Structure 1
Amino acid sequence: MQPIVHLSVGYLCYAAYTRWRRGERPRGVPVLVVLVGAGLPDLLDKPLAAAGIVDVGRTVGHSLFTAVIVMTIVWQVAARRNRRPLAIAFIIGYASHIVTDVPWHVLSGDIDELGFLLWPVTEMPAYSGVKYLGTVGGVEITTLWLEAVIFVAGVGLWWRDGKPGLETLKNAVVD
């Protein structure tokens, strides 16, 4: 999944959680936290791969081992500071990233590319790229089509929700 789409997925998951759990739309700071969580695996792995430290862009940050450690640390720190709602936002974002990197490989039959889940115990072969999913009305459908729909849905809901986090970010930059 493209990095920017993970942000949309994180927002969609968090928006569903806040509506289900609290009956309200997402708000400022937690939205920014969920976006950090949703982007973190790529923010860790893509530069490592670009620098040649790891062979592919899904290793350290995408590993379940790292995910559990990072989420546990975030939970512990947030609990000590009485900020559990922020930890929940982060965990939803991070977990949504890992979970949504799985379906494309399963649907396309590239199961070996799921090695990132247990990296470094399992090997992570080179990512084969955009996955072909089928043809509809003579048009080839790839994962990029579905990712575009997910991205638009996430941005659309965020917009409909009043663009939470944007004002918080503006205030942080201006101050």
Structure 2
Amino acid sequence: MQPVVHLVVGYCCYAAYTRLDRGEPPSAAPAGVAVVGAAIPDLLDKPLYSAGVVPVGRTIGHSLLFAVPFVLLLWLLARRFGRARLGIAFGIGYGSHLAADIPWHVLSGDYDELGFLLWPVTPMPAYTGVKPLGTVPGVDIEATTLWLEVVIVVVGVVVWWLDGRPGLDVIRRTLER
């Protein structure tokens, strides 16, 4: 999945949580924390891969063996400082990243690429990239997971817009300084 799509999925998952929990759209700070949480697995793994420290781009940050204790620790710290909502937002964002990486491999039958979930206990082969989903009937065009990712981004932007664009005012104020 493309990194920007993870950010959108993280926001949408947190927005769904706040609607179910409080019946309202998310506020800026926790929504931003959810988006940051959704970015962390790639922000950890991609530089390590580029530097040659790990063999593939989905290892430490994408492994449940690291993610679960890390998210739990951050949630406990946030709770200790009276900011439990931020800890929850981070956990939802981080978890959404890992969960969103699973369907493409299942749909394409590349089950061995799910090794990232328990890395280093399970091997993680090189990521094969965009997955084919089949051809569009009548036009002979191959549909790929990238098509679905575009739909996810469009839907996510619409959700964010309808939620009142949380965080946009913070960005505007920062740019005006």
TM-score calculated relative to the size of structure 2: 0.95
Once residues 43 and 73 of structure 2 are traced to their aligned partners in structure 1, the CA distance between those partners, rounded to angstroms, is 18
SS of equivalent to 1:42: helix
Which of 158, 165, 168 does residue 166 from structure 1 map onto? 168
Q: 8 Å contact 1:29–1:168 — kept in the other structure?
A: no
2:145 is matched with which residue: 140, 143, 146? Answer: 143
In percent, how many aligned pairs have the same letter?
Answer: 62
Give me the whole-angstrom Cα distance separating, in 1, the residues matched to 2:126 and 2:85. Answer: 37
SS of the residue 1:77 aligns to: helix
Deviation string, structure 1 residues 82-115 (Cα, Å, up to 9, x no partner): 1111111101100000001001001101000011
- Residue number in structure 1 paired with 2:9: 9
Q: Which runs of 5 or more structure 1 residues have no equivalent in the other structure?
A: none
Residues 77, 172 of structure 1: alpha-carbon distance in 2 compared, 3 angstrom cutoff: farther
Tell me the TM-score normalized by structure 1.
Answer: 0.96
Matched position secondary structure for 2:53: coil
In structure 2, C-alpha distance between the alignment counterparts of 1:110 and 1:173, rounded to whole Å:
44
Q: CA deviation at 1:71?
A: 0.6
State the alpha-carbon separation in 1 of the partners of residues 175 and 70 from structure 2.
Answer: 27
Show the 5 A alignment for 1:105-120: 105-120=105-120
| Shift, 1:158, TM fit | 0.8
Question: Is the CA contact (8 Å cut-off) linking 1:78 and 1:87 kept in structure 2?
Answer: yes
After TM superposition, the structure 1 = structure 2 runs for residues 3-82 of structure 1, keeping only pairs within 5 Å, are 3-82=3-82
Alpha-carbon distance in structure 1 between the residues aligned to 2:82 and 2:53: 37
Amino acid at match of 2:24: E
Aligned counterparts of 2:85 and 2:171: Cα–Cα separation in 1: 18
The residue aligned with 1:153 is 155
CA distance in 2, matches of 1:170, 1:120: 42
Q: CA deviation at 1:174?
A: 5.6
Q: Distance in 2 between matches of 1:70 and 1:165?
A: 25
Q: What is the DSSP-based 3-state SS (H/G/I as helix, E as strand, rest coil) of the residue aligned with 1:129?
A: coil
Residue 159 (structure 1) shift: 1.6
* 1:54 to partner: Cα distance: 0.8
Following superposition, the deviation at residue 41 of structure 1 comes to 0.2
**For 2:43, what is the secondary structure of its paired residue?**
helix
Q: Secondary structure at the match of 1:11?
A: helix
CA distance in 2 between partners of 1:65 and 1:171 (Å) = 39
Judge which range, 85-94 or 158-167, deviates more. Answer: 158-167
Instruction: Give how far 1:45 is off.
Output: 0.4
SS in 1 for 2:44: helix
Deviation at 1:35, TM superposition (A): 0.6
